[in-house]
Amino acid sequence: MNLHAPTDLELEMHARNPLRISESEELRFVGRLWRAIWRVRYWAFVAALLSGIVAYLYSLTLEESFTAEARVMLNTSAPPQQPEPVGPLLPVLSMSPTTLQSEIEVMGSLDLIDTVAQQLNLYTDPEFAGSEDESSIATAIDSAKAWVRQTLSSAVDALLGSDEAASSEASEDLDESGYQQVILESIAGNVGVVQLSPLSAVYTISFTSEDPKKAADVANALAETYIDAQTKEVLATGGRLREWLISRTKDSEDELLRLNVELAEQVTSPTSTGEPLEVMQQQRREYAESLASAQARLASLEQTLGPSGSPDATGTPALPDDAAVGNAASGSDAQDIRRRNALESQLQQQRTLVTSLQQSIAEQERRIAEEIEYTTNVSRLESQIRVAERVYESFVELLRRQSNQERFVEPNARIISHARLPLYPSGPRRARLAFVAAVLAAMSVVGLAMAKEAVTRRLRTVREYEEATSLPVLGMIPSTTRLGQGLKGILTNPKRADSVVDRNIRRLRNQIITRAEALGQPEPRVLIGASPLHQEGKTLSITLLAINYAATGDRVLLIDADFWRSGYKGLLPQPTADYWDTVSDPGASEIAVHSVPNTSLDIMVAPTNLTDPAELLMSKSFQDFVSGMRNRYDRVLIDAPPILPLANVLPLYRVADATLLFVRWNYTSSASVQSALKALNSVGVEPLGCVATQIDLRRVHGYSDDEFTHVLAHSSK
């Protein structure tokens, strides 16, 4: 953004606060938020005080409630038990945070609360089910809902052909279950389960009720029901284990019986000879030795006879056949024939012996194999029977020990402190309620102030004025209404103007001269006052400036050019002559002006009966009229209409030597100011500077504006 050259006042303030120039946007935003909080500190205190009082008074109308607590401790260390326990004699929970935390959900489960609610008839308790009036209202609402559901259901059934009776019964069951669910959730809302510390095995089960006895009864019932549920779970686990052991024992018994029957059948089987296996193996070896001897003899005989039946190569003659024997004459031939026949007989006998021995060996091997198979089967069955007997005995022993352990079953938790009748109410906690309400109210006020500060774009500091306009702040005019003055009082007795306002008006006059000299321009004689919108304090400020000029001895004319919303309407008499005639004939202007008593100030009040005021202001006659007034007055000040609502009269601003932009403090947004400046620039008008008006002296300090604070403070001295 193009900023102007620093003024003397700005340089002075920068010298006093060098951090202001280098301050970042983030720090400025944080500072704005902090100042917003500081401005509403009293409002926040008042809101907190009132909210706390209202909350405390409201708590007096609430029913008192009582809270009873029962404490339960989990068994996290294993107690002495029988050796090698089969089932959960004393269940032991781990000390892990997850396990301990999960027990909170178990103790506060809806199933557990439902069991207690049924035991103590809480579903029909008026505290949870509602009073008669509430029940009647709830019944009426439920009836209406049921009627709507029934109507819709009937329509659907008519389309789909469903069974109406079944649908009606299902609807009634749903209504009943839904009603009980609402009551159950209401009861559960009064139940509290708290672990004393993250690694503690002690839990507090609390219940809140309007009746102290009911609170104690329900808390104890919840603790006892939790213990009972744990015991039942242990017993159920033991029962399932016992059933499994019985089943396994029966299976083992059946298996043992089957093996014994199979063994008996094997023993009585005819496959066994009863002869020891060692004896049969010895006989088989003897048969093998005899076979080897017979085979050796057979081989010897076959070698002796030779392949052709003749004596072999050893010199033994070959044996002749029977024909040869019969034909032999005598002597040695007959002897050879007999010898040969004897050898053949021996060979035949030896072959028969070998065959018999081979058959005996095969039979013996078969008997040995059958005996081995029999012995193996018997050994296998005996081994299986021994294993089955041990398994059966083990299951019988386990079943016996499990039966003994069930007599010593304990839950995994115990009650260490029963709930007692509470003597003092636990709620409503009036002090806490009041404190929370006060804190919330204060935070709400602070939050709203911060939100408003974050989105606001109103001009409240010199920096914001200068950044929005790129113009120096020439004047800072306090609100005269705050000082007990107004335009009427100032016009009636201008010399009684407040000293604070008067000093700042004099400062504005001097700054106008200084600014004109800095720009190389002569002191302006015709000044026009502009404002972005209505209600900017322009009329009052320019009137004060005109009075100040008149106080120096200058002859001043103040022209009221706001024909649409004149600030002097009702305060000064309207001109009696035709305004066009007055403008056209400067010599007749005295008829249309009003002289302020005891001053050299004349005010030309705008008429209210013109059909087209813009035409008059844009006419050459009005320009000539202003030029003519230069010769008759030392200063001519024009109170122009607002820029944005009446942009069609912008050329009016060219008749003046200088333009002052009056912007109301903490009222006008930067967007409006920038739009007004663009409009002036479009007709070639560059304002001399801007003037902050209607500054609230009691609030300006809350924005920590050094220049506003410094200038206004010195002006009040």
Of all residues in the chain, the percent with pLDDT exceeding 70 is 75
The encoded tokens of residue 71 equal: 């404490």
Q: Which of 458, 512, 481 is nearest to 705 (CA)?
A: 458
Q: Which of 552, 536, 548, 547 is nearest to 640 (CA)?
A: 536
H/E stretch holding 204 reads strand 202-209
Q: Which CATH number fits domain 457-715: 3.90.1150.10, 3.40.50.300, 3.30.40.10, 3.40.50.460?
A: 3.40.50.300
Whether residue 512 has pLDDT greater than 90 = yes
Range of weakest confidence among 77-81, 276-280, 564-568: 77-81
pLDDT in the model for residue 481: 63
Range of weakest confidence among 343-347, 535-539, 680-684: 343-347
Cα three-residue angle 158-161-162, rounded to 5 degrees: 100
Sheet architecture: strand order including 413-417 = 191-195, 202-209, 66-74, 413-417
Q: Which residues pair with 594 in a beta bridge?
A: 603
Is there a cis peptide before residue 532, judged by omega within 30 degrees of 0?
Answer: no
Instruction: Using DSSP bridges, classify how beta strands 66-74 and 413-417 pair: parallel, antiparallel or unpaired.
Output: antiparallel
Range of weakest confidence among 64-78, 325-339, 452-466: 325-339
The encoded tokens of residue 716 equal: 């009040």
Residue 490 and residue 166: Cα distance in Å, rounded?
A: 90
The encoded tokens of residue 7 equal: 């003024």
User: What DSSP character marks residue 522?
Assistant: P
Whether residue 170 has pLDDT greater than 60 = no
Helix then strand count (H, E) for the chain reads 22, 12
Residue 471 and residue 469: Cα distance in Å, rounded?
A: 5
Contact 150, 168 (CB under 8 A): yes
Ramachandran quadrant class, 511 (left: phi over 0; alpha: psi -120 to 50; beta: rest): alpha
Contact 459, 465 (CB under 8 A): yes
Q: Please provide the average confidence, as pLDDT, over all residues in the chain.
A: 79
pTM (2 d.p.): 0.54
Give how far Cα 200 sits from Cα of 106, 205, 412, Å: 16, 14, 15
- The rounded Cα 188 to chain-centroid distance in angstroms is 24
For 485-514, what is the mean pLDDT? Answer: 79
pLDDT digits (tens, 9 = 90+) for 366-419: 888 888 888 888 888 888 888 888 888 888 888 888 777 766 666 778 899 999
Ramachandran quadrant class, 90 (left: phi over 0; alpha: psi -120 to 50; beta: rest): beta
pLDDT digits (tens, 9 = 90+) for 437-464: 999 999 999 999 889 888 888 888 888 8
Query: Tokens 């912007």 sit at which residue?
Result: 663
C-alpha dihedral (662, 663, 664, 669), degrees to nearest 10: 160
pLDDT digits (tens, 9 = 90+) for 554-568: 999 999 988 888 888
The encoded tokens of residue 104 equal: 């909170």
Of all residues in the chain, the percent with pLDDT exceeding 90 is 28
Range of weakest confidence among 12-21, 502-511, 648-657: 12-21
Give how far Cα 624 sits from Cα of 562, 581, 631, 654, Å: 18, 13, 11, 12
Strand, coil or helix: 519: coil
> Which residues are CB-neighbours of 669 under 8 A, at least 6 positions away?
457, 458, 459
Higher pLDDT, 232 or 15: 232
Query: Tokens 């007599």 sit at which residue?
Result: 407
Residue 618 and residue 672: Cα distance in Å, rounded?
A: 24
pLDDT digits (tens, 9 = 90+) for 11-68: 443 443 443 444 577 887 888 888 888 888 899 999 999 999 999 999 888 888 999 9
Whether residue 8 has pLDDT greater than 50 = no
**Domain-by-domain residue ranges, the chain?**
277-408, 457-715
* Confidence band, pLDDT 50/70/90 cuts, at residue 316: very low
pLDDT digits (tens, 9 = 90+) for 609-636: 777 788 888 888 888 888 888 888 999 9
Q: Which of 263, 500, 475 is nearest to 382 (CA)?
A: 263
Sheet architecture: strand order including 526-530 = 473-478, 689-695, 658-664, 526-530, 635-639, 556-560, 601-604, 593-595
